[in-house]
Amino acid sequence: MKLTSILAIYALFWVMSAFLVLPFGVRTHEEEGIAKVPGQADSAPANFRPGRIVMRATVVSLVLFGLYYANYVNGWVGPEQLELFHPPVAQNR
């Protein structure tokens, strides 16, 4: 696998992981007991920390990409095991 392919696939894993970890640990102003600004949405986070989300997404994407790359190198699961490309043939009785 080329380095550019590795970087592109890792970037996809990172973006997917960022959206996956985004809602964890976020609390609203009501949950924190903080007054809201007039016109603010009820669901707006009171403690948004983008640095923490970046770190969590990086860790999750490293684990997921590591599993993907290990599967790519070792060939644990391939298209032939998924039966998406070669559906089973019906037997006539």
Provide the Cα torsion 39, 43, 44, 50; round to 10°: -170
Q: Tokens 């006539």 appear where?
A: 92
Task: Domain ranges for the chain, please list them.
Answer: 3-82
Coarse DSSP helix, strand, coil percentages of the chain, rounded to the nearest 5 percent? 55, 0, 40
Q: What are the tens digits of pLDDT across the range 51-81?
A: 999 999 999 999 999 999 999 999 999 877 7
> Encoding tokens for residue 6?
């590795």
> What pLDDT, on a 0 to 100 scale, did the predictor assign at position 85?
60
Q: Please compute Rg for the chain using Cα positions.
A: 21
| pTM confidence score | 0.79
